[in-house]
Amino acid sequence: MPVTPQTLRNWKHQPQPFVMLTAWDWAIAQIVDQAGVEVILVGDSLAMVALGYANTLPLTLDQMIHHSQAVCRGVKQALVVVDLPFLTYQESIAQAIHSAGRILKESQAQGVKIEGGSPEIVETIAKLTRIGIPVMGHVGLTPQSVHQLGYKQQGKTEAEAERILKEAIAIAEAGAFALVLEHIPAPLAAQITEKLPIPTIGIGAGSACDGQVLVTADLWGLSETLPPFAKAYINGRATLTEATQAFIQDVKSRQFPPNL
């Protein structure tokens, strides 16, 4: 049965966490969907892992729609959620509706994710939800604020932890169907998970969350550097380099192609 935002919203305190992975094109989406993940995120990290930008800020809405369309063509089971890129939702609620609306109209995605927990963002989540657009929240380390936060762990002081907990509660009350907790201490993520009526999805937030998310380029060992919380399950760079060099050798030694 295909996963919907409602399926996910009800996935709370289950014995087994659900899994979300990122995808940025059709082949990757097919692989992770057929492997059995519950959610596929067209994450704006694609700016870095697929397009080579230094951070997620340059990505445009048109680029995101182009990648989302490709991802959706490869997915049969998983719920597809798309990150709204930097400055495609922060300017006004009207801008957020326009951007989220284009994602849902121009791809088959069923939800959008937006970063932050300020009163403005909470109001935007409430408005999008009221007009029928499922929204996933994202607090803790929010990479679109890299020039303010860097990529450091968030919520280390008592005051910061309290602020993140309050943001999480406000986002849930605004109607978000799930919430990403990025790079915060495990006890804080456990406390938020306990208190929220909606599922939490951790990345660098410990094992108590209702779901876990990873950037697929990190899982596959394709990234040049790994965040401290990520784990590569295959050395993709080395494995693909070896295959490429074997091909180069075969051509140079006339072992490839075969003479049919």
Ligand X SMILES: Nc1nc(=O)c2c([nH]1)NC[C@@H]1CN(c3ccc(C(=O)N[C@@H](CCC(=O)O)C(=O)O)cc3)CN21
Ligand Y SMILES: CC(C)C(=O)C(=O)O
Residue 22: contacted member of ligand Y, Mg ion, ligand X, none (CB under 5 to 8 Å, by partner type): ligand Y
DSSP secondary structure letter of residue 145 = G
Query: Which part of the chain contacts Mg ion (CB under 5 A), choosing from 75-83, 170-178, 203-211, 247-255?
Result: 75-83
Q: Give Cα 92 to chain centroid, integer Å.
A: 23
All residues at 6 or more sequence positions from 149 whose CB lies less than 8 Å from its CB, including other chains? 141, 142
Quote the CA–CA distance of 124 and 99 in Å, as a whole number: 12
Nearest partner of 197 among 167, 177, 180, 182, judged by Cα: 177
Smallest gap, in angstroms, from Cβ of residue 149 to ligand X?
9
Task: Tell which one of 33, 44, 182, 210 touches Mg ion (CB under 5 A).
Answer: 44
Contact 232, 40 (CB under 8 A): no
Quote the CA–CA distance of 112 and 101 in Å, as a whole number: 9
The answer on whether 45 is annotated among ligand-binding residues is yes
Smallest gap, in angstroms, from Cβ of residue 103 to ligand Y?
14
Residue ranges that bind ligand X, judged by CB under 6 A = 45, 48-49, 56, 143, 150-153, 183, 215, 217-218, 223, 227-228, 230
**Residue (64 or 133) nearer to ligand Y, CB:** 64
**Residue (116 or 175) nearer to ligand X, CB:** 116
Beta-bridge mates of residue 113: 83, 136
Residue ranges that bind ligand Y, judged by CB under 6 A = 22, 41, 43-45, 83, 180, 182, 203, 213, 215
Give yes or no for residue 210 binding Mg ion (CB under 5 A). Answer: no
Quote the CA–CA distance of 219 and 139 in Å, as a whole number: 22
Query: Which part of the chain contacts Mg ion (CB under 5 A), choosing from 43-51, 63-71, 121-129, 246-254?
Result: 43-51
Residue in 158, 182, 194, 242 annotated catalytic:
182
Distances from the Cα of 227 to the Cαs of 61, 172, 173, 214, 222, in angstroms? Answer: 26, 27, 31, 10, 13
Quote the CA–CA distance of 243 and 260 in Å, as a whole number: 23
Residue 180: contacted member of ligand X, Mg ion, ligand Y, none (CB under 5 to 8 Å, by partner type): ligand Y
Give yes or no for residue 83 binding Mg ion (CB under 5 A). Answer: yes
Smallest gap, in angstroms, from Cβ of residue 118 to Mg ion?
17
Q: Name the residues annotated as catalytic.
A: 182
Residues that bind Mg ion (CB under 5 A): 43-44, 83
- Residues at the binding site for Mg(2+) are 44, 83, 115
